[in-house]
Amino acid sequence: MKIPREHPRYLSLKERHKLVEGYRDGVTALAGLIAHGRGEAFDYLIGEKTIPPAVNAIKAGVAALLLADSPVISVNGNTAALCPTEIVELSKIVGAKIEINLFYRSQDRIKKIREILIKNGADEVYGVTPTKEISGISSERRWADKDGIYSSDVVLVPLEDGDRTEALVNSGKKVIAIDLNPLSRTSLTASITIVDNVTRAVPIMIKIAEEMRGWDNSELRRVLASFDNYKNLREVLLAIKTRLEEMDFPLQ
Ligand code: ATP
């Protein structure tokens, strides 16, 4: 389907189209479409743009990835359908592995997501035949590659569920979430929560990582140490509140 560029909801329609195609191709799960809808609702509330607290979280997240010994980016069906090129680019800049992790896990979906990532430049994709389990997760998301997420110290989880975020944090890992819902269990449990659309956040992470990878570790540590996730989430809620209070009609 061709979406006219001048359509006022062009970007949103394009994202939906990618997910619908992803579903038809067996990459995105049906429930992934619903999860996207939940995200879209929150995107309206933040104004469909990257707000300052998200930029602060992105800086902290990039610092954590650059300082990590063994960082991993976790990829699910929605992320693979929405921004595979950017995920691969980010992984190369920060030196992170990429691991597939699915709630609705099937070898067929894993194979398809792996193909997308490889087609977009990934050299290696973990999580195809994982042998380890992260304790505290009952779903299929418990599976972890022994050389990937299982032995990682920092994990980036775009569009995650709260159970796995909590279990990863409990297993001693630093968890960076990208989640449009500042009230989700994921957002509240992660070490660093980037409240933004994954399609906007990852390109900004790439830009910031290009700049920050030239920094000393002491500077990166300073950025990380000055970040407080609850404080940042409060700033997100305040930004939403202020935006709603200041809205006038006709809406702009
Ligand atoms: P939790 O278990 O953390 O409370 P949840 O039950 O909402 O969250 P899921 O159903 O897995 O978890 O939903 C995934 C999350 O991803 C939702 O919170 C939604 O806001 C978010 N989300 C969906 N699409 C996007 C997107 N494009 N960018 C960022 N976040 C998104």
What is the per-residue DSSP string for 111-177?
A: HHHHHHHHHTT-S--B-SS--EE-TT--SGGGEE-TTTGGG-SEEEEES--HHHHHHHHHTT-EEEE
Q: pLDDT (tens digit, 9 = 90+) per residue, 46-63?
A: 999 999 999 999 999 999
159, 39 Cβ separation under 8 angstroms: yes
Q: Region 27-40: what's the mean pLDDT?
A: 97
Enter the tokens of residue 217: 């570790």
Cα 215 to middle of ligand 1, angstroms? 32
How high does pLDDT run on average in the chain?
96
Instruction: Please name the residue whose Cα sits nearest to atom 12 of ligand 1.
Output: 161
Q: Which domains does the chain have, with CATH numbers?
A: 52-241 (3.40.50.12640)
What are the angstrom distances between the C-alpha of 134 and each of 141, 144, 159, 183, 192? 9, 7, 18, 24, 20
Instruction: Please state the atom number of ligand 1 nearest to the C-alpha of residue 42.
Output: 20
Q: pLDDT (tens digit, 9 = 90+) per residue, 71-103?
A: 999 999 999 999 999 999 999 999 999 999 999
Instruction: Please state the atom number of ligand 1 nearest to the C-alpha of residue 189.
Output: 3
Q: pLDDT (tens digit, 9 = 90+) per residue, 150-201?
A: 999 999 999 998 999 999 999 999 999 999 999 999 999 999 999 999 999 9
Whole-model pTM? 0.96
Q: Region 137-147: what's the mean pLDDT?
A: 96
Cα 161 to middle of ligand 1, angstroms? 7
Q: With cut-offs at 50, 70 and 90, classify the pLDDT of residue 3.
A: confident
Tell me which residues have their CB closer than 6 angstroms to ligand 1.
35-36, 38-39, 42, 159, 161-162, 178-181, 184-186, 197-198
Cα 181 to middle of ligand 1, angstroms? 7
194, 178 Cβ separation under 8 angstroms: yes
Cα 217 to middle of ligand 1, angstroms? 32
Instruction: Please name the residue whose Cα sits nearest to atom 5 of ligand 1.
Output: 161
According to the model, what pLDDT value does residue 252 have?
Answer: 61
Residue 98, classed as helix, strand or coil, is strand
Cα 115 to middle of ligand 1, angstroms? 24
Q: Region 13-17: what's the mean pLDDT?
A: 95
Q: Region 192-213: what's the mean pLDDT?
A: 98
Whether the per-residue pLDDT at 251 is higher than 80: the answer is no
Cα 218 to middle of ligand 1, angstroms? 33
Cα 99 to middle of ligand 1, angstroms? 19
Pocket probe mutation, ligand 1, options 87, 184, 188, 204, max atoms within 8 Å of Cβ: 184
Quick check: bond before 8 cis, omega within 30?
no
Radius of gyration of the chain (CA): 18
Pocket probe mutation, ligand 1, options 137, 159, 175, max atoms within 8 Å of Cβ: 159
